[in-house]
Chains A and B, each alone.
Chain A
């Protein structure tokens, strides 16, 4: 497995502001993912972030709202832009480890965001 850390662990933000969430992994990984987990709901994939290429966004998520950086194989950031209360959620970073088809996703501890 991998040790995945996220900063901040939680934050309370005002409407209209932006927050950048950092994800650090203790090993080099090709594929990283950002998920959102809204209160009482399952995980929703926001985007896949591979190093050296543009992030691939899922339906309903756009780069202007959720810009992602992936400068190297151990780090990524997700920015939640122009926040509204509907963005209140847990944001989770995830990495893919393994080879030969037996790969598994591992998750960071999450960032709990509250937008007032």
Chain B
């Protein structure tokens, strides 16, 4: 069975500092990995995904994520945090073979950017 873990319930970072939101995954085959963001009282917005190719994936709003196969991780990063980045961030994984497979979401990490 596939799973995804977000070990931090909340991450606090000062505005202008780099941020990292951690995600590790477990899947039997090749992973397809995703990050979504949820702003207060809104639905999930797709940020970025890793399917294959370069381990560093760039997405919306200046975010990027690094796929590390040996560590089974897909951490979300941004060089300089903005107060407007404060939101809930969800990592998701599914197995990338055999047609469409169900996506499994992490429990979410609340990012708080402090002015």
Chain A contacts to B: CB under 8 angstroms: 1, 4, 31, 41-43, 45, 48, 92, 96, 101-110, 112
Report Cα–Cα, A107/B39, bound state, in Å: 13
| B83 neighbours in A (Cβ, 8 Å) | none
B100 touches A31 (CB 8 A): yes
Please give, as numbers and ranges, the residues of chain B lying within 8 Å of A108 by CB-CB distance: 43
Contact sample, A vs B, 8 pairs, CB 8 Å cutoff: A42-B90, A96-B100, A101-B32, A101-B96, A102-B51, A104-B34, A104-B49, A109-B42
Do most interface residues of chain A lie in helix, strand or loop, or is the interface mixed?
strand
Looking at B43, B46, B49, which has the most chain A CB atoms within 10 Å of its CB?
B43
B31 in contact (CB, < 8 A): no
Expressed in whole angstroms, the minimum distance between the Cβ of A114 and any Cβ of chain B is 13
Residue numbers in A under 8 Å from B45 (CB-CB) = 107
A41 and B34 contact, CB distance less than 8 A: no
Other contacts beyond A45-B103, A101-B96, A107-B46: 10, CB < 8 A: A31-B100, A43-B105, A45-B102, A102-B51, A104-B46, A105-B46, A105-B103, A107-B43, A107-B45, A110-B42
Which residues does chain B contribute within 8 Å of A31, judged by CB atoms?
100
User: Given contacts A41-B107, A101-B96, are A106 and B46 in contact (CB under 8 A)?
Assistant: yes
Binding site for A on B (CB under 8 A): 32, 34, 36, 41-46, 49, 51, 90, 96-97, 100, 102-103, 105-108
Tell me the nearest residue of chain A to B91, going by C-beta: A42
The answer to whether A42 and B34 touch across the interface, beta carbons within 8 angstroms, is: no
State whether B106 touches A92 (Cβ < 8 A).
Answer: no
With A42-B108, A45-B102 known to touch, is A101 a contact of B42 (CB < 8 Å)?
no
Residues of A within 8 A of B90 (CB): 42-43
Inter-chain contacts of B96 with A (CB < 8 A):
101
Are B107 and A107 in contact, CB atoms less than 8 angstroms apart? no
Chain B residue nearest to A43 (CB atoms) is B105
